[in-house]
Amino acid sequence: MQIEDMTHEQRQAEIKHIQTEHRDILSTPLISEGNIDPDAISAMSDRKKKAWGEASETKLGLLATMHALSATDADIAERKLSRARDKVRDAEDSAENHIRWFAGLGRMAHKKNGDLKIGYVRSIEHDKERIAKAKAELAEMENVTL
């Protein structure tokens, strides 16, 4: 399940689950936290050093997951809205590039009277529909979050 689809209570329950299930890994000392000296790592055997490295990478991943889960509903809504805005912007850019590409095809894409051939017109209409759909989704999301 995506974090965006979880309720606040579900996210908090998942954080507690991670804390209890991975208690040993979360107790791994990290240099960035100041809990272990680099000299102590140098003094470790290769096997212990490898195990510590794997545990610290896992701990950092778990901490990142817990941080993402601790986001407020407003933060999550803002991220969704930001992604929707990016989707609209990408659709607009793609359509504009597509239209410019057709214009650059010259006589191949145009009739003798200068109009675009019907296949190219349909493609442009499809791009415009895609933009309109993305804008409608964005407007709906903005209305829901307000």
pLDDT digits (tens, 9 = 90+) for 8-22: 899 999 999 999 999
**Beta pairing partners, 110:** 116
pLDDT digits (tens, 9 = 90+) for 49-66: 999 999 999 999 999 999
Entry pTM = 0.61
Distance between CA atoms of 15 and 55, rounded to whole angstroms?
A: 18
Rounded to an integer, the average pLDDT of 63-88 is 87
Q: Contact 32/105 with Cβ under 8 angstroms?
A: no
Domain spans of the chain, in order of start: 3-69, 73-145
DSSP 36: S
Which amino acid makes up residue 120?
A: Y
